[in-house]
Structure 1
Amino acid sequence: MLLHLIASADAPENAFGFVQAMEEGGPIAWSILAVLVIMSVGSFYILITKYFEQRKVFNQYKAVRTSFWRANSIKEGATKLEKDSAWRQLVDDAVAAEDQHGKMTDSMEAHDWLHGSLARSEASINSKLAGGLPFLASVGATAPFVGLLGTVIGIYRALIKIGIAGSASIDKVAGPVGEALIMTAIGLLVAVPAVLAYNWLQARNKRIAELMSGFSTDILANINSKGAVRPNTMAPASTQQSGKAARTAPATGSTTAKPVSATATTSTATKPTTPPKR
């Protein structure tokens, strides 16, 4: 529609608009256009759905920082997380791996078994988050060539008309050449957003992978230490209270010191008198 308006801006009666150019190309041009439209719709669908999926994971991580590590145990902290969240999956897999290691009869260390279980859990979550991104990469790589196919066909039709007419007049080649240029533009319009969306979503997935890796390390350390090791996460209220206490500590300490009385000083300073000898 935008290309049609641009093409018909300066000509009130334009016989070489977008629809006319597509009709000039025939079924092949319409088929290529349909493929590009499907690519574009699919790219924007993946971009929107993956954005909200990643946003949900980031928002759920706030519960991990504020409430999970303040629980008395890993199992108790898991109840404070959403059931279908990626963070809850890591905790549940860690707890299940700990229980499974107790049933083993070989000499495999608990650290290795837990580490492998958490690594498998992270891989499954990362694979789910990466779903749809190969489609964006494929669209970004192939859409310009699909548009180029329409360009080649349009130029080929223009050459055929020039050969049949015996002259390269503008009315003979405007339709096929216009179709060729339109196909190139549509291919670029489809490819550029797909490439940008792929790079942006991929960067966000890497950030989520980093957070999950750190969370898995903290879970592993907490389980191996029987709950003694945990990250130092404090709520905003407790942080403010600790800062207030730190600011008031010197003043309080200076007022609690008791002054030494003068009588005590003089009593310790004076020596007892000895009675005179007879």
Structure 2
Amino acid sequence: MSALELVLQGDAVSVGVAVALLLMSIGSWVVILWKGWMLQRAHRDVARSAAAFWQAPSMEQAMVSLRAFDRELLLLPLVEATQAPTHGTLAAAGDASQQLTRVLRDALHGVLHRLQAGQVLLATVGSIAPFVGLLGTVWGIYHALIGIAGAGQVSIDKISGPVGEALIMTAAGLAVAIPAVLGYNILGRVIGRIEADLEGFARDVRELLLSQAQKPASH
């Protein structure tokens, strides 16, 4: 008897547990594959976009270069935020240093929020999938005990199906959780490296704009 047949011969709880594990597995693998591709491209784009920005002769040309190289829109929102007009609003309160810090921080938070998308799902699946599988295990053992009690004697035929179902649920829970945990950790490290690059770029842009703003005053 196949694993699928063992699961399908169970009741609504067993089938529900199996469906929940299947959905969690599909969701986590979609996130892992999508984010793996996106972060790989983003890591390359950050390096190329930053190099193109600093090689540009002017801020206008730098913006053009970012639009060409920054496919995942990681650096461009930071620079655009510094160019947005804030006159007549509370965002214009304070000196130039405070204004730049505020707009760059807000833009950086928005970019990092997009980079972190899907991480919560992976963490959730990695945390709860073993317990969902354990629920199926306990339910299968319960059916095995009911079968023994109903038969009045120990019979392999009565307990083999529920016990096999229970073991499958345990293995399925671990099979779903392990890739999710590994994906969360590996992708998290990549996100951390990109985040450090973005923070460094935002700090450098802030210093550049502050120095440009102070130049007229020095004459």
> TM-score if structure 2 supplies the norm length?
0.89
Work out whether 1:205 is the aligned partner of 2:205.
Answer: no
* Partner SS, residue 141 of structure 2: helix
Alignment RMSD: 2.3
Paired with 1:62 and 1:207, the residues of 2 have a C-alpha distance of 11
Q: 1:69 aligns with which of 50, 54, 57?
A: 54
CA contact (8 A) 1:20 1:175 kept: no
Work out whether 1:151 is the aligned partner of 2:137.
Answer: yes
CA-CA distance at 1:207 after TM superposition: 1.0
CA contact (8 A) 2:17 2:136 kept: yes
Paired with 1:153 and 1:188, the residues of 2 have a C-alpha distance of 17
Residue 32 of structure 2 aligns with which residue?
Answer: 47
Change (3 A) 1:181 1:71: same
Q: Which amino acid aligns with 2:128?
A: T
* Pairing of 1:175-214 with structure 2 (within 5 A): 175-214=161-200
Sequence identity, in percent?
36
* Pairing of 1:103-252 with structure 2 (within 5 A): 108-226=94-212
Flag as ranges the 4+ runs of structure 1 deviating above 4 A. Answer: 101-107
Larger radius of gyration: 1
Paired with 1:63 and 1:142, the residues of 2 have a C-alpha distance of 39
CA contact (8 A) 1:222 1:228 kept: no
Change (3 A) 1:156 1:106: closer
Change (3 A) 1:59 1:78: same
Paired with 1:176 and 1:131, the residues of 2 have a C-alpha distance of 39
The unaligned stretches of length 5 or more in structure 1 are 1-15, 230-278
The unaligned stretches of length 5 or more in structure 2 are none
* Pairing of 1:59-98 with structure 2 (within 5 A): 59-82=44-67, 85-96=73-84
CA-CA distance at 1:60 after TM superposition: 1.5
Change (3 A) 1:122 1:167: same
Paired with 1:106 and 1:133, the residues of 2 have a C-alpha distance of 35
CA-CA distance at 1:107 after TM superposition: 6.5
Between 1 and 2, higher relative CO (CA 8 Å, sep ≥ 6) is seen in 2
Residue 58 of structure 1 aligns with which residue?
Answer: 43
CA contact (8 A) 1:24 1:176 kept: no
Aligned residue pairs total: 212
* Partner SS, residue 24 of structure 2: helix
More helix by share: 2
CA contact (8 A) 2:82 2:100 kept: yes
